[in-house]
Amino acid sequence: MAHVTGYSSRHLYSKFKEETGVTLTDYIRLRKLTLASFMLRRSGRTVTDIVFMYGFDSIQHFSRIFKSHFGISPRAFRNADSWNMNLFFPSAIVTEFSYTTKICNINNKAISAYFSDVIDIDYGFNFLLSSNQGKIITAREIADYYMNMFTNIASNKNHFTVLGEVVPVKGLDVRITTYIGQVSSTPSSSTDHIKIPDRKYICFNHIGAL
């Protein structure tokens, strides 16, 4: 990380703790615990799989630091009736994330991209995200959530959901191609632009760090 950022290791550790309130080592440990806890609740993977997926030394080591942070064992956490997202790091309770969304129609547009990336996601489970009163939430029971959503969607035209399902492709659940660039009208014959398919889209606006 010091090499990528161009800072010395000492300065990086100091600035990181100043900005986040925790050391870089603690941040990595807490993030790994958070991801592991999410997998315990949302997937059918064994504890052993999850332990080695996130690079913990052993099941015993993982169980010890997991209980120290969450107050219960990994097995008890998986089987509990509810889970406290405030203990996630960072907290899954979104309070300071400011953004706006709207549904828009895009026709005859293209993007001139100066950066593109492909993101492979391997959660190993179905997931659902929704914009609801300014917070990003997850729903464990997708069918029940959709039933509730459809009863309220008429009064909220900017309501949207993102549903991801496990697909039979080894090594990933979802592949997302991202582009950064300028959107403009362009002749269809242009080879310097990527044509955006004509349809409705979710327009997501946010300024600041993610």
Within a domain: residue 186? yes
Total domains in the chain come to 2
Predicted confidence at residue 67, as pLDDT, reads: 95
Domain that holds residue 48: 2-87
- In sequence order, what DSSP letters do the residues of 61-88 get, joined into one string? HHHHHHHHHHSS-HHHHHH-S---GGGS
What pairing do the DSSP bridges indicate for beta strands 109-121 and 194-196? antiparallel
Residues 59 and 106 occupy one common structural domain: no
Residues 70 and 115 occupy one common structural domain: no
Domain end, chosen from 87, 114, 139, is at: 87
Q: From CA 194, how far away is CA 110, in angstroms rounded?
A: 5
Domain end, chosen from 64, 87, 110, is at: 87
Predicted confidence at residue 137, as pLDDT, reads: 44
Residues 134 and 111 occupy one common structural domain: yes
Mind listing the pLDDT tens digit of every residue in the chain (210 residues)?
888 888 888 888 898 888 888 898 999 999 999 889 988 987 888 999 999 989 899 999 999 999 999 999 999 999 887 777 778 887 655 556 677 778 888 888 888 888 888 777 665 544 555 555 444 444 455 555 555 655 554 455 555 555 444 445 555 666 777 888 888 886 656 566 888 888 888 787 776 655
Within a domain: residue 93? no
CATH number of the domain within which 56 lies: 1.10.10.60
Residues 104 and 199 occupy one common structural domain: yes
Residues 28 and 121 occupy one common structural domain: no
Model-level pTM? 0.47
Within a domain: residue 94? no
Q: To which residue do tokens 């090499």 refer?
A: 3
Within a domain: residue 123? yes
Within a domain: residue 210? no
Predicted confidence at residue 104, as pLDDT, reads: 85
Q: Is 33 exposed, middle or buried (0-12, 13-18, 19+ CB in 10 A)?
A: buried
- Among 160, 195, 198, smallest CA distance to 181 is for 195
